[in-house]
Amino acid sequence: MLIIPAIYLTDGLCSLTVHGETGTEGKYPCDPADVVKMWRVENAKALHIEISNSEFESAKTSDAALKRMTSKVDIPIQVESDCLSLDRAHFLLDELGVYRVVVPASSSDAINILALLVDEFGPRRIVASILGRNSNSGVRDSGIQDVSDTCMHTMESEIEFLLNLKYMGIQRIVYSDQSSQKKNSQPPTNLYKHIAQKTQLAMTIVDTVSSYKHLKALQELYPRKIDSVILSGALYENIFPCQHIWRRVEKTLIEQAQFV
């Protein structure tokens, strides 16, 4: 299971910073180039970037930050953006050094753009972001067989939608289920497995892990297709025991003014 740290870029700066050891408050970087370097040192194999800008001019600021980020690390960086055109995708992939673009499949216009992008760049570099349409239904760990007709209809509609994306050329989805992103909630593993089995799409899951136990559950679920997870808050809050080793090392480096 590949763990992908999420970085939220606003006006050229990172909006999340790591929770360090006592005495390191305010010492962790928000400069994007330093943040990607930190995650790479901690053995990240890929990074996920989401961009939001408060003003039109700040798009240039974020682009400059992206360029510095991709030049700092030797691992793939993917960017999620819903303001895409062929020209913008070319700029991200060819000029800024982004490896992959994640496009929310949130409207008919977005899906039309998604089709153009997949045709132009191929399915390894263009993936679809899905906000689960079944977020409030019963396809969860109670078991698929217990789902009501209404819930099953909703699930079947989502499967049909995803199969249409697959027919269009999509091979991987970044899947977000709103109800599972509450702190300490149990990942809806049956839901994920059902989608993977029915569609045979590769799946990256978003922010459903709040403990090592949750990670293990995902890892053993359907490894041939459910192979990665994007983490933000939980990772920055050090949910994995090994992270505390890094934080102690970083505290020493901060005290010696040698951190990033």
pLDDT per residue as tens, the chain (260 positions): 899 999 999 888 898 888 888 888 888 888 999 999 999 999 999 999 998 866 555 678 889 999 999 999 999 999 998 767 889 999 999 999 999 999 999 888 889 999 999 999 999 999 999 988 554 433 333 333 333 444 444 778 889 999 999 999 999 999 988 665 555 567 788 889 999 999 999 999 997 787 888 888 888 888 889 999 999 888 899 888 888 898 998 888 888 777 77
State the alpha helices, DSSP H only, in the chain.
32-41, 58-72, 86-90, 108-121, 149-168, 189-199, 212-219, 233-236, 241-255
Burial status of residue 30 (CB atoms within 10 A of its CB: 0-12, 13-18, 19 or more): middle
**Residues written for the chain:** 260
Q: Cα 72 from chain centroid?
A: 20
Q: Which domains does the chain have, with CATH numbers?
A: 2-255 (3.20.20.70)
pTM score of the predicted model: 0.87
Residue 136 near residue 89 (C-beta atoms within 8 A): no
